[in-house]
Amino acid sequence: MKILILNGPNLNLLGKREPEIYGSRGFMDYYEELKALYPDVEFDYYQSNVEGKLIDKIHEVGFSWDGIVLNAGAYTHTSIALQDAIHGVTTPVVEVHISNVHQRESFRHQSMISCVCRGVICGFGLDSYRLAVEALRK
Ligand code: DQA
């Protein structure tokens, strides 16, 4: 099974950025732990702060890989282009958020991508990514 973990804007700052919300652990450290939990899964990881690069990556893997775990960061709340990209591919996409966006500012309550994602997991910290992998495996 091939799963892409795709992180959007500002998620390269995990561990340093607003640790009271996103925790103090860097993503690459967590990613190593995640890979070790699923030795039978082939993972790849990609992060970009650029909307078009995220779209290019979805196009690249979206007809051949088994799943995409996508934290689109703030593009979640704004990007029709990401919605179209997810809609246009066949690989199932699981939307994840580290924080519980529904407990935060009202502009974070709306997602432009949930309607085209297989499911949504939010609010479990970095463990949201593992829960998304579990869902894709089933
Ligand atoms: C986030 C929530 C978004 O609202 C925010 O813009 C992020 C991170 C999360 O993982 O909790 O960048 O996607």
Confidence of residue 126 (pLDDT cuts 50, 70, 90): very high
69's enclosing H/E stretch is: strand 67-71
Return the pLDDT at 14: 97
pLDDT (average), residues 50-65: 98
**pLDDT, mean of residues 44-61:** 98
Question: Is 59 one of the annotated active-site residues of the chain?
Answer: no
Catalytic residue among 30, 75, 97, 129: 97
Write down the catalytic residue from 22, 30, 75, 129. 22
Residue 3 C-beta-side C-alpha neighbours within 13 Å: 23
**Of all protein residues, whose CA lies closest to atom 9 belonging to ligand 1?**
97
Distance of CA 97 from the midpoint of ligand 1 (Å): 6
Percent of the chain with pLDDT over 70: 100
pLDDT for the residue numbered 36: 98
Q: Output the CA 119–ligand 1 centroid distance in Å.
A: 16
Interacting residues of 44 by C-beta distance below 8 A, sequence separation 6+: 2, 3, 4, 5, 61
Over residues 62-72, mean pLDDT: 98
pLDDT band at 75 (very low <50, low <70, confident <90, very high): very high
